[in-house]
Structure 1
Amino acid sequence: MIDAIAFKYRTGTPWTDLPERFGSWKGAHNRLRRWAADGTREKVFTALLAQADTEGDLDWVVAVDSTIVRAHQHAAGARQKGPRPASRPTMPSDAPAAD
């Protein structure tokens, strides 16, 4: 079950595309949801992390690039802070005034 969950998050595939060798995708998905709700997922993750750390299997390397980090959709082309440009002044017309 843990391998199925790890595969799903490592590859980013949808649950329905989980390979058959992991069993039913519904079973893995439901188990993960239950584990998340009752705190078991956090306990399992902490235990696996501690085990890997004691065995020296962890490399704490973090890579961030533009394929992962995106700006909010409203961040592109937003108006800069500061005063708004003044509207064009209106000039009186040379035409005679209306009665």
Structure 2
Amino acid sequence: MTDLLMLNDAQMRRIEKYFPLSHGIPRVDDRRILSGILFVIRNGLRWRDAPSDYGPHKTIYNRFIRWSRLGVFNRIFAELAKDGDGVLMINATHLKAHRTAASLLKKGLYPDVSDAAEAG
């Protein structure tokens, strides 16, 4: 698992306060699943192509969808933008977008950083 992306302790401490609370059943390790989400997005992979070291691909996908709807990623991006004087640059020139990607913002499934910065 040495070539895989894995968030370190300092990174997790900085963003874990924005994770929703677990209700009842303990959820799968947040570090592993969030690292899997970042790995899939960074490499432009399909969810089912995520390495099994991150956990089941369905769990990775479900967590991404659920947390996107709850605005977790908006709050994380807003927090990370604070250190850069309100500027957060994400370079996505290497990513391919599926034709349905344009509708994700309307459906609330894609983080809208501009709204999160205004709210903070």
The TM-score normalised by the length of structure 2 is 0.41
Say which structure, 1 or 2, has more relative contact order (CA 8 Å, 6+ apart). Answer: 2
Q: Which has the larger radius of gyration?
A: 1
Structure with the higher helix share, 1 or 2: 2
